[in-house]
């Protein structure tokens, strides 16, 4: 039996940093990985991150949001010395298996960002936190704390690469004009089911009629940039995305690249 997602009687009240481990239940993760196949994802992303890291002479990378390993495996294949961390043991098990399929023995560490330095050792040229992961932190205190942990684990000339969904568009367009994001053609749809300044509850529907949700904190782009600089990062560059799942004017994702010094 697979455990189901648990959001309780009032799902929109679930606004807790630690809840992510109960949201990424194995059945959701398996489904997502089998439908959004990695080849398709690689094609749409191109070599954006690999090029960015190479251009800056990065050798060692800590992937703090490994998930099922998409970026870690690409980084290993590209020759980066990569350590793969995540707070979810289920995710890391899936990532490790995915790495093996590709001939990589991934170095995995289970670690929550809020206590990253306790469980992960060493200093890195780059930390990547990708796939709209930072959105899982529900209090400003946790966000500051996680960023400070990332900062501390970087070499003096290291960089943090962190992406996020374009929540400004979702918040400003309002609940009524919410749009669906389609992946794999029409197979998987992702749409905001509930939106306020403190929560975007995303609904993921699959072709077999199964439905899953994730509760996320809607990070405004300039807010994320401000937090990064307040924690000490210098020179923060923000890119519009490489990938458009929505045919509109606005990018769906932003990628922030922040330098430690």
Residues that bind ligand SAM (CB under 6 A): 17, 20, 24, 65, 67-68, 70-71, 86-88, 91, 112-113, 130-133, 136
The answer to whether 148 and 231 are in contact (CB under 8 A) is yes
Cα–Cα distance between 98 and 71 in angstroms, integer?
11
Exposure string (b/e) for 235-252, b if CB count within 10 Å is 16 or more?
ebebeebeeeeeeeeebb
Nearest-CB residue to ligand SAM?
Answer: 131
The answer to whether 236 and 257 are in contact (CB under 8 A) is yes
> Of 177 and 254, which has the nearer Cβ to ligand SAM?
254
> Of 133 and 215, which has the nearer Cβ to ligand SAM?
133
> Of 56 and 114, which has the nearer Cβ to ligand SAM?
114
* Shortest spacing between CB 11 and ligand SAM, in angstroms: 18
The answer to whether 244 and 252 are in contact (CB under 8 A) is yes
* Shortest spacing between CB 41 and ligand SAM, in angstroms: 8
> Of 2 and 156, which has the nearer Cβ to ligand SAM?
2
The answer to whether 233 and 251 are in contact (CB under 8 A) is no
Distances (CA, A) of 232 to 90, 227, 259: 33, 9, 9
* Shortest spacing between CB 57 and ligand SAM, in angstroms: 23
* Shortest spacing between CB 71 and ligand SAM, in angstroms: 6
* Shortest spacing between CB 144 and ligand SAM, in angstroms: 13
* Residue 124 DSSP code: E
Cα–Cα distance between 14 and 9 in angstroms, integer?
10
> Of 37 and 261, which has the nearer Cβ to ligand SAM?
37
Cα–Cα distance between 252 and 148 in angstroms, integer?
26
> Of 141 and 261, which has the nearer Cβ to ligand SAM?
141
The answer to whether 132 and 67 are in contact (CB under 8 A) is no
What 3-state DSSP class applies to 26?
helix
* Shortest spacing between CB 236 and ligand SAM, in angstroms: 20
* Shortest spacing between CB 131 and ligand SAM, in angstroms: 2
> Of 130 and 219, which has the nearer Cβ to ligand SAM?
130
């Amino acid at each position: 039996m697979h455990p189901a997602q648990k959001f309780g009687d009032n799902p929109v009240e679930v606004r807790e940093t630690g809840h992510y481990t109960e949201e990424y239940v194995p059945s959701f993760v398996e489904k997502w990985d089998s439908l959004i196949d990695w080849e398709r994802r690689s094609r749409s992303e191109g070599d954006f991150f690999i090029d960015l890291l190479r251009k800056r002479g990065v050798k060692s990378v800590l992937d703090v949001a490994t998930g099922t390993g998409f970026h870690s495996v690409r980084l290993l294949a590209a020759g980066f010395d990569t350590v793969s961390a995540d707070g979810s043991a289920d995710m890391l098990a899936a990532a490790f298996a995915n790495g093996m399929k590709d001939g990589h023995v991934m170095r995995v560490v289970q670690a929550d960002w809020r206590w990253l330095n306790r469980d992960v050792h060493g200093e890195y040229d780059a930390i990547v936190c990708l796939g709209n992961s930072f959105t899982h932190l529900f209090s400003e205190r946790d966000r500051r704390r996680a960023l400070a942990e990332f900062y501390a684990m970087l070499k003096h000339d290291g960089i943090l690469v962190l992406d996020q969904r374009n929540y400004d568009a979702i918040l400003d367009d309002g609940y009524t004009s919410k749009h669906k994001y389609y992946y794999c053609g029409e197979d998987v749809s992702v749409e905001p089911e509930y939106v306020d300044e403190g929560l975007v509850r995303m609904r993921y529907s699959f072709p077999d009629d199964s439905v899953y949700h994730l509760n996320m904190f809607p990070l405004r782009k300039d807010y994320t940039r401000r937090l990064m600089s307040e924690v000490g990062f210098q020179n923060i560059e923000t890119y519009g995305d490489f990938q458009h799942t929505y045919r509109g004017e606005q990018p769906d994702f932003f990628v922030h690249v922040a330098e430690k010094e």
